[in-house]
Structures are given as C-alpha cells and as structure tokens.
Amino acid sequence: MSPSDVAFLAAALPAAVLVGLSKGGLPIVGMLAVPILALVVSPVEAAGLLLPIFVVSDWFGLWAYRREYSARNLAILTPGALAGIALGWATAAWVSEAVVTLLVGLIGLTFVADRLRTAGRDRPPRPAGVPRGLFWGAVSGFTSFVSHSGAPPYQMYTLPQHLPKMVFAGTATIFFAIVNAVKLIPYWALGQLSLDHLKSIAVLFPAAILATFAGVRLTRILPERLFFRLILAALAVVSVKLVWDGVRGL
C-alpha cells in the first residue's frame, strides 16, 4: 500500500463513519465528512466520492426508521428540496462553493445564538407550516447539492417544532435519503461520479453501515434533552467550521 493510499484511508474511514452516524439519527455530523476527506482530495472529488456512501447508508437508515417519522414534514420539505437541487444543478457553473458554505455556517450560528438567547424559556412548538417548510426545504436541497451541508437548514425548520427525538431523527434520515437519491442524476451529469471511484469507496461501505446502526442505537439510548443539546452543540461546532472554510475560500 502506497503512502497516498494510507493517507486516503486515514481520511476516508472517519468520513465514512460520520456519514453512517448521520444516517443513524445524528444528521449534523455527516457535514464533517466532506471537509475531512477534502484533506486528501479536492472538495468536489470528496463530495462525489461520498455520495454513494450516503446513498448506501440511507437504505439502512430507512429500514431503522421505517416507523418513526413525520409524514407531514416530509410532504412539505421534499418538494422544496427538489426545487433546491434543480437550482443547484442549473447554477453549478456559477455558484461559489465558498459563498454557499459561508452562508450555511452563518445561518447555523444565527440559529444557535437565538436558541441560547431564549434558553430556559417555555417556547411553544411551532407548527409545520407550508411556506416555511418549502423555503427551508429548498435551501436544504440547494446546500446539500453544493456541499452535502443541508442539515442546518433542515434543523432551522424542524427543531422549533419540538418533535420527539426518534421522529426528528427518522424524518431527517428519510428526507436526506430522498435528497441523496435525487442528487445522483445531476452529479453523474456533471461528471462528479465515476466508476473509477468504486474501488476506492467499496472498502468504506462496511464502516458506514456499522456506524449507521451505532448511530441508531446511540439515538435511542440518549435522554431526549441531552440528545437535542448535543445536536445544538454539534450544529454550533459545524457552523463555525463552515464559516471558517467559507472565509478561507473567498
């Protein structure tokens, strides 16, 4: 095994594990996968390499959460996401990944700051409204297409609803399974998927699948209050990283 192969595996295996954990119910951690793999390959290549791993992990996540999800949220978010993916495809040649990354990070930090500002107050659940859901679904689809960073917009819409943790996790898993499956077509059309990558990613599937079931188990055993605190903390950390990456890329 050459040094380049060792370096690739050293970055790709943790990235695959993070993808699996995200499909197991911790959606925000999957956003770290592309930046980690981008340490050894270009960000565009990293996104293309990881998409099949996202899709395969999605199938196991779908089975795990087949009975725990919000049908209303999926019905609202999915059309918006499809529009966002289409927009990302249509503007792929002109949209700056750095600008999108920066904006997603700023959105996430704004949301975290608002939640911290109102911590301790009794905030009634916000209903799953159609206009808001279509908007945040579109933003999530667009940012997911550009850099697999669709989780913060999704959380902007769903966290205020105070969904039970398993419903929150299951809805995220099913929603992003749909998004990732749809993304295969434009990724292929844009040349970001290649059969040459299959050998590289085949060794990562087992790690991602095992991590998916570990994520489901972790989601089930964590107390609900702690689960959402960890989600918010992870969102803050990832948002800071996205802002940093976006500023560096400008």
Q: 32-51 pLDDT, tens per residue? A: 787 788 777 777 777 788 88
Distances from the Cα of 108 to the Cα of 28, 165, 239, angstroms: 11, 19, 5
Residue 117 CA to residue 219 CA, distance in Å, equals 26
Residue with tokens 């550009």: 146
Residue 69 CA to residue 216 CA, distance in Å, equals 14
The encoded tokens of residue 24 equal 């197991």
Mean of the pLDDT values across residues 104-129? 80
Look at 39 and 52; give whichever has higher pLDDT. Answer: 52
Please answer whether residues 172 and 25 qualify as being in contact, where contact means their C-beta atoms are separated by less than 8 angstroms. yes
pLDDT at 3 > cutoff 70 = no
Give the residue from 217, 219, 208, 244 showing the smallest Cα distance to 51.
208
Please answer whether residues 48 and 194 qualify as being in contact, where contact means their C-beta atoms are separated by less than 8 angstroms. yes
Look at 133 and 249; give whichever has higher pLDDT. Answer: 133
Question: How many independent structural domains does the chain possess?
Answer: 1
So what's the pLDDT on residue 201?
74
Which segment, 118-122, 184-188, 195-199, is predicted with the most confidence on average? 184-188
So what's the pLDDT on residue 4?
61
Look at 37 and 209; give whichever has higher pLDDT. Answer: 209
Residue 60 CA to residue 16 CA, distance in Å, equals 14
The encoded tokens of residue 47 equal 């996104």
Mean confidence (pLDDT) of the chain = 85
- Crossing angle (nearest 10°) for helices 224-249 and 97-117: 140
Residue 107 CA to residue 206 CA, distance in Å, equals 34
So what's the pLDDT on residue 1?
44
Enter the pTM of the model. 0.85
Print the SS3 string covering 154-187: HHHHHHHHCCCHHHHHHHHHHHHHHHHHHHHHHH
The encoded tokens of residue 245 equal 């990456």
pLDDT at 18 > cutoff 60 = yes
| SS3 call for 194 | coil
Q: 139-177 pLDDT, tens per residue? A: 999 988 987 788 888 988 998 999 999 999 999 999 999
Residue 132 belongs to domain spanning? 3-249
| SS3 call for 67 | coil
Residue with tokens 């950390």: 237
Please answer whether residues 147 and 47 qualify as being in contact, where contact means their C-beta atoms are separated by less than 8 angstroms. yes
So what's the pLDDT on residue 81?
97
